[in-house]
Each structure stands twice: as structure tokens, then as C-alpha cells.
Amino acid sequence: MAVPYHLLKACGGMVFAAQGTDIHSFNSNLEYVSTWKYPVKPTETTDISTENPAEVPTGATPDVSAPSTPEGPPAKRRRTETGTDNTPEPTATTTTTTTEVPVKKGRFHRSPVQAANEKPFINCLISSRDGRHLILTTGSDKTIWVLEHDGQGNLKQLSQRPMPKRPCSITLTGDGNTILSADKFGDVYALPLIPTSDPNPNPAAAADSGSSTPKPILSRSATPSAAAAAAAPAAGGFKPQANEFTVHTRRNLRALENQKLSMEQSKQLLKEAKTNESEKPSFEHTLLLGHVSMLTAITVGQSVSPQTGIPREYIITADRDEHIRVSRGVPQAHVIENFCLGHEDFVKALSVLPGSPSLLVSGGGDDDILVWDWLKGTLVSRAEVLKHVKEIAAEAEKVAVSRVFGYQTEGGETKVVIIVERVPALFSYTLNPSTNTLEHSGTVPLPAIPLDVQVLQDNKLLVAVDTSSGDYVSTLVVVSTAAEDGSTVQTTPAPNLPAGEVKYGAEELQKLLYTTETLRKLSDFD
Amino acid sequence: MAPVKKPTVKKDKKQKREEYRAAMREEGVSSLPRKKFYRQRAHANPFSDHQLVYPPQPDQMDWSTLYPDYIAKDSQEIRAEGGSSDSEAAIPKRLTQDVEVADIGCGFGGLLVALAPVMPQTLVLGLEIRVSVTQFVEDRIKVLRHQNAETGGYRNVSVLRANTMKFLPNFFRKSQLSKIFICFPDPHFKARKHKQRIVSTTLNSEYAYVLKPGGIAYTITDVPDLHEWMVQHFEAHPAFERISEEEQDADPCVEIMRTATEEGKKVERNKGQKHVALFRRLEDPDW
């Protein structure tokens, strides 16, 4: 199955397009320059080998990986393999397997369908403002990659960092030195663009909140002192958390006695295990904030602080539970300034408008896109989407906005283009600066379903379209925004490229390309 | 044999429950509800999408059904004049004052009932994720209000089904609350379940958001490890500081929390330990 370009990034006169696991670069005339390929060979063992380059040669851990190979959730398996660096003492191994690979109980089984998503597929693509770095994330191996761009379209891999949970959206801070990664689990981590060698920055060193170094909020799972306690059971020994006061029945008390006994026995083991550090990533990463919900989008906004009048940065995060949260930037990311509440379904895309940086446009499962004064947390206006989608697809009852792309035209107008999942059109809105409302300024019908959009010079839009269904052949479409009625849509044929090395089935590809609608909650579930 | 027998027994129990609860819903019931008709598994998954009802934002929360005695006069008049038009329904009736105390995971409501007479001028809200248990507290408050009709007691407490880990900011505005109680939360012993604990550094940011500076977060548990966990995570959060032992013992709410919560009573019966920790919400530094 041919994979269409599904992510685009235009920067510094170049265009980068992600196709499955590869990134192709094009010059300003959309002529093909080169390709960066996902390093195929280390795919399966990448994360392990980077974490413990010294100890884990491929296949050195057959005892744990073997039983879970057929249908165990591979995402979990990766973490287990880290745990096996411990000497394979019987007790140690069993505890590790039971806690981390839930194969014991049937209800924890994931369906094998899950495996469809397990090939690394690029799911985020951003660039630094100067165009010298490209940052991308791949889905199944949860890795953040930083590539260096030489200015001519050639990409060189600088680093790869496997995250604890799958990143859903990434962005760069205003100074361009820090990657903010929002993950499926609801946490936002800060990583330096160029990794430092120091894996554990000293938290005490950054204790002064006024200092410029990020003040680490401790990890969700453990504080340093708790880490010692928590790491111990994870690393092999078992420590009962119940005590004589919390357990009352005779049987439970007896069980507790037994647990204590075995704890004594494994104390020796524990000591050994403690020398092995926890399974955390070995590179610098700082937990900034977290939602108890899957994060769907992250962006940063710049504004003058209302308290001090100093220009400051704010982190804006959106989740599946209709929230948009505005937090202060590093190092005060623990302070929530506001929530932009008003969505009634999931939020998927955010865009701080380039021409009006106090305004934020958000879209998702609602019938409208919403315009916010994000620092105040107030809804400024709404713009209809469903109504315009119905003009293209009359039977549509709900929409899933997958992209909200704000840009400034060369004439100085602020425009927003949105993509609605599985609707073959672009919807364009123009900001009315006096009322801060978005006025629908055109619907551009496309020959195929759009996946991503970027702006080129001369007010032209570059759209990646899905060619896997239908007979339309070109994967890139240039839309001239001068005529938004769609009469002058030009198409550019895709450069002839070798197909990606990872093959996807038709159904699998659909799942990978169209993820927005799946965020919607089922209404008949309690 | 057994598989045939079991469902019928279960159904009977379910029927009894339903009948009992239906009877409780009728007007003029004067006896307090009995827990055995409202029991529910002690754990709920905070990550799943329960069929929850919550307002899109705090301003759209209709508090009038929870605190009918505190509806603002002018709000009522406007409503009376406008009749029952659709546009009126969109704007909920306002209260004369805001909810200021929240009991997160109120369980069977022991703390709420004990706090009601202690802070009669304050609106106290219990939040509970389990449906049956919430219903019990609802019925309990209803009966208590009925029983104390002359004194007007228990008009200031109410309960709501909610998943606070996800939706706390949907109910409360920034700096709205002065006290948050977290009493005997689910300990989630397994390391794999630690992420489901109600106290974490990232969630503490949300508690800091709804608490006003100077407000207090109260925690109590009978599990030493969880106590340690909560202390560490609150202390690690820059917006909170731990309150000293002396001040803690002087706070009347602490004694209520120790003795009046349902779980506190159970721990008492079993001669368990109770670990209390209070944390003050600090002013945010300048930004």
C-alpha cells in the first residue's frame, strides 16, 4: 500500500514531507532533494541499546522477551527488557514479569489488533524557527528524533530519545532550545533540543524559582526519596505496603506474615538490585505539568505578564476531555494561569494566531472552531465548521477537525485554514481584527482527502492528500489562496520516489492516518 | 446447579436495592438510608470515560438544585418574569455565595454531615465517583434536611458525582475554594497503579489552581506508605507548604476528619493508625 505524505513542514524555503517512516525534502520549486530514512536495523532494539549501550546485545534477553513475543503488547515488552539487566535470579525475574507484563490475567490482554499500530510511524513533525533542526516523533517506539538540516535539504540525525509514553504532540519553546513533548498519558516533558550528557540534572541546583534553568517537578511516579522506595520493589524485591493496622482478617494477616518473610529473604537481592538504576530514560527530561487525560496538542504563547509587565512564555495544552490549559512557561510551569473551557467534545488542534498572538484558535470534535483570549481564559468568538462541511458532504452530522493552521498572508491578513478529517476540502477563515471573529472566507474542494497543510510563498498553500483511495495520483497539491473559490487549484505531481520500506495494509494505513475521530467518546458507555 | 442459582439471588438483591432506593426517593421519608443497599466496589477507574455529567465550564454549573436555599433573590426574579423559555434555561440560577469547601472522594459522606453544623455559613460539596455511593449521600442529606427542617440544618452541604482527577476545573473557578479534603483515598498499593492515586505532583497543580492562596489541603490516611507519598508530593510542589503539627492540632477540622469520616470510624474500630497532613496553598511567585 502506497503511503501518502501525511505530515508537511515548510521552513527556510524548503519543504519536508513525512511519508510513513521517511522524510523527504524538497526545494522551493518542490523539486525532490533527498530523503532521511528511519534507521531500519536498530528499530526493534533501539531504545534498549541507547539506554544501556554496554550491556544489551541483541537477543541477550531471551527469557523475558520470548514468552511475550506472540501477542503481548510490544509497547510494554520494551520496558521489561530493561528490567532484565538484573541478574536472572528466580525471584527477581518473576516479580519483574508479573508487574510489567500483564500476561497472567485475561482481562489485561490487548487484542492483537493493537499490533497494527506497532510499526514506527512518524506522528509529529516540527522545525526550529531558523530551519536548522527538524524534530519528529515516531509512534510505536515513542521516540523523539532531532535531525540537523544543512540548509540544502539534507538531513542528519543528531539524537533519538525514547520517551516513557508515546508523544502525541511536540513544540519548541520560544528560544528554540527546549522541546516540549505532550504524551498520551497526559504529561508534558521538557527536553533540551541538543541532549546534554548529564542524565540527572541536580534538582537542588535549580531550586531557585527565579533561575533560568527549568525547575523540575518530580516525576509523577516518584519523588527522589520515594524513588528509592519505589524502585526497590520494581527492581526485584517485594515490600508489602499493607501493615497489621490496615489488614484485619486472619487470612490477610497470615498472607502479610508470609510477605514479610519473603521480604526478609529478598533483602539481599534488593541491595544488589538497588545498584541498578531505575528504568527511566537516561537523558535529561523534566516533567513540567500533567493532565489526567490524553494530551492532543501543545503549543506556546508569548505575552506580557499581567503581574510584572515582562514578556513571558506560556504553555498551552489541550486534552481529550475538552480542556485547554494555560500554564506558565519554564521554570514556573506548575502554575496554571487559566483554563479555556467551552469545548463540548475533544480538542485536537491549537493555533496561536501569528498576527494576533493574544488569540488562540482551537478545533476538535465540536461543530465549531473556537477563538480564545487564551491568557484571560475567555471565549472570544466561534466559527461554524459543520455548516460548511455540509456544503461539501451533505450527510455529515459531526466533524473532527484534525488541523488548525493559522498564518499571516503577505497582505497582512490573518487566516486560519482547517482540515476536517475525511472531508476532501480545505476550509479557510479570515480574522476580522476589529471584532476578533473568524469569517469563513472560502471552501476549497480538493481532489482527495487532505492530511496536512503548510503555507508557501506567494500566499500559496501546500496540501498533502491521501491517494490511497480513489484514482487521484498526485500526493501534493498547491492551492493558490488568491482564488479561494477553488477555480484555480493547481496540482503538482509527486516526485517519483521509491516506496517506503515498511509496508502497511490498507486498513492499517487508514488507522494510522485518521486518528482524530477515534478521540471521540462513546456515548453509550458507563 | 450453582450457575443457575446464582443469577436469581443476584437479581433479588438488585430488585431489593431498587425498591429500597425508589422508596427513599419518595417525599417525606424520615429514616436515614442504609448503606447495605448502596454498596459498590471500592475502586473506580479514573481514566475511563464514565457517563459523567459535568458543566463545560464553572459558570454553566447549575448549583441551584444542590443548594436550593442559597439561590440569589434577583436570579429567581429574573427567572420568574422570563418564564421557562429556552434562553433562560441556558443561564443557571446564581447562588448567594460560592462553594468553598470540597471533599474529594467523600464516600458515604461522614465528613460532610459532620462539617455541616461546624461551618453553617459555608457551602460544602462532596465529590464522589461511584454512582451508588453518591446516591446514598444524596438520600442521606435529603433525610437530614427533612429531619432538621426547623433549624434549617444541612442546607449547606451537598454531593455530586464527579471524576475530580479529570474535571475539577469544570466545577470550580480559579482560587474559589478555601479547603480541600482528601480523606482515606484509595491507596492503590501496586506500583503499576500509583498513577491512579489522587495525589500527584501534576494533579497538585490543579488543586493549587482551585484553592485560594492561604487555602488548605487536608489529607488523612491509614496507610503509612500513602501518607509518605502524599507528603512527599505536596512538599515537592512549589505551591504548597506543610502546616506545622501545632497548627494542625489546633484546626478543628482535623479532629472531625479523624473521627467523623466513615473510613475514620472503621479504622478506629480496627485500632488502626491515622496519618494526617495539612498543606497550605502559597501565593504564586511573580511571573
User: Is pLDDT of A311 > 90?
Assistant: yes
Contact B205 A242 (CB under 8 A): no
Closest residue, chain B, to A324 (C-alpha)? B169
Name every chain A residue with its beta carbon within 8 A of the beta carbon of B167. Answer: 321
- What is the distance in angstroms between the Cα of B28 and the nearest Cα belonging to chain A? 31
Task: Assign 3-class secondary structure to A249-260.
Answer: CHHHHHHHHHHH
- Which of A189, A192, A182 has the alpha carbon at shortest distance from A133? A192
Q: Provide the 3-class DSSP secondary structure of residue A518.
A: helix
Residue A68 scores a pLDDT above 70: no
> Considering only A30-34, A186-190, B129-133, which range has the smallest mean pLDDT?
A30-34
User: Which residue of chain A has the CA closest to B184?
Assistant: A246
A335·B287 Cβ contact <8 A:
yes
Q: What is the mean pLDDT of chain A?
A: 76
- Point out the catalytic residue in the list B62, B103, B139, B186: B186
Q: Which fold has domain B98-287?
A: Rossmann fold (3.40.50)
Cβ separation A521–B206 shorter than 8 A: no
Mutate to test the interface with B, among A185, A208, A217 (most CBs of B within 10 A): A217
pLDDT at residue A503 is higher than 80 = no
Q: How many CA atoms lie within 13 A of B154 on its CB side?
A: 23
Reduce the DSSP state of residue B48 to 3 states and report it. coil
Closest CA to A455 of A437, A428, A474: A428
pLDDT computed for residue A96 by the predictor: 37
Alpha helices in A239-317 (DSSP H): 250-265, 267-275
Farthest-apart Cα atoms in chain A, separation:
81
Residue A32 forms beta bridges with which residues? Answer: A26
What average pLDDT does the structure give for chain B?
A: 87
SS3 B6: helix
Average pLDDT over residues B261-271: 89
**Residue A221 is nearest to which of B194, B226, B228, comparing CB atoms?**
B194
Q: Distance between alpha carbon A106 and the CA centroid of its chain, in Å? A: 30
Q: Are the Cβ atoms of A343 and B170 closer than 8 angstroms?
A: no
Q: What is the average per-residue pLDDT within A338-342? A: 95
**What confidence tens digit (pLDDT) does each residue in B80-89 have?**
444 444 444 4
**Position A442, amino acid:** G
What is the torsion angle, in degrees rounded to the nearest 10, for the CA atoms of residue B204, residue B206, residue B212 and residue B214?
Answer: 0
pLDDT band at residue A283 using 50, 70 and 90 as cut-offs: confident
Which long-range contacts (C-beta less than 8 Å, at least 24 apart) are formed by A444-449?
Answer: A444/A479, A444/A484, A444/A486, A444/A489, A445/A392, A445/A486, A445/A489, A446/A477, A446/A479, A446/A489, A447/A472, A447/A474, A447/A477, A447/A489, A447/A491, A448/A424, A448/A472, A448/A477, A449/A422, A449/A423, A449/A424
CB within 8 Å: A526 and B56: no
The verdict on a CB contact (< 8 Å) between A334 and B208 is: yes
- Within 8 A of B204 by CB-CB distance, chain A residues are 334
Give the model's pLDDT for residue A185. Answer: 92
pLDDT band, residue A446 (cuts 50/70/90): confident
The 3-state DSSP class for residue A454 equals strand
| CB-count exposure of residue A53 (10 Å: 0-12, 13-18, 19+) | exposed
Which of B267, B112, B100 has its CA nearest to residue B171?
B100
Whether residue A209 is predicted with pLDDT greater than 80 in this model: the reply is no
Chain A contacts of B194, Cβ < 8 Å? 221-222, 230
* Nearest CA-CA distance, residue A502 and chain B, Å: 33
Where are the extended beta strands (E) located within A305-367?
Answer: 311-319, 324-328, 336-339, 347-352, 359-364
In tens, the pLDDT along A37-55 reads 888 654 443 343 344 444 4
Task: List the one residue out of A168, A166, A182, A160 whose CA is nearest residue A74.
Answer: A166
- Selected residue with higher pLDDT from A151 and A320: A320
Domain parsing of chain B, residue ranges? 98-287
Residue numbers in the known binding site of B are 105, 128-129, 163-164, 183, 261-263
Chain A CB contacts of B208 under 8 Å are 334-336
Cα separation of B213 and B281, whole Å?
5
What's the pLDDT score for residue A367? Answer: 95
Closest chain B residue to A76, measured at CA: B192
What is the bridge-based pairing of β-strands A378-384 and A401-408?
A: unpaired
Q: Select the highest-mean-pLDDT range: A474-483, B4-13, B121-130, B267-276.
A: B121-130
**Sheet bearing A178-183, strands edge to edge:** A167-172, A178-183, A187-192, A286-290
For residues A283 and A296, give the distance between their C-alpha atoms in angstroms, rounded to a whole number.
24
B186 is catalytic: yes
Chain B nearest-CA residue for A338: B174
Residue B192 DSSP symbol = G
In chain B, how long is the greatest CA-to-CA distance? 71
Considering only CB atoms, which chain B residues are within 8 Å of A321?
Answer: 166-167
B166–A341: do the CB atoms touch at under 8 Å? no
Q: Average pLDDT of B201-211?
A: 95
User: What stretch of H or E contains A355?
Assistant: none
Q: Summarize the annotated binding site of B for S-adenosyl-L-methionine as residue ranges.
A: 105, 128-129, 163-164, 183, 261-263
Asked if the Cβ–Cβ distance from B169 to A341 is below 8 Å, we say yes
| Whether ipTM exceeds 0.90 | no
A411: pLDDT strictly greater than 90: no
Among A295-299, A398-402, A406-410, name the one with the lowest average pLDDT.
A406-410
CA nearest to A524 within chain B? B51
* Residue B135 pLDDT > 80: yes
Q: What is the pTM of this model?
A: 0.81
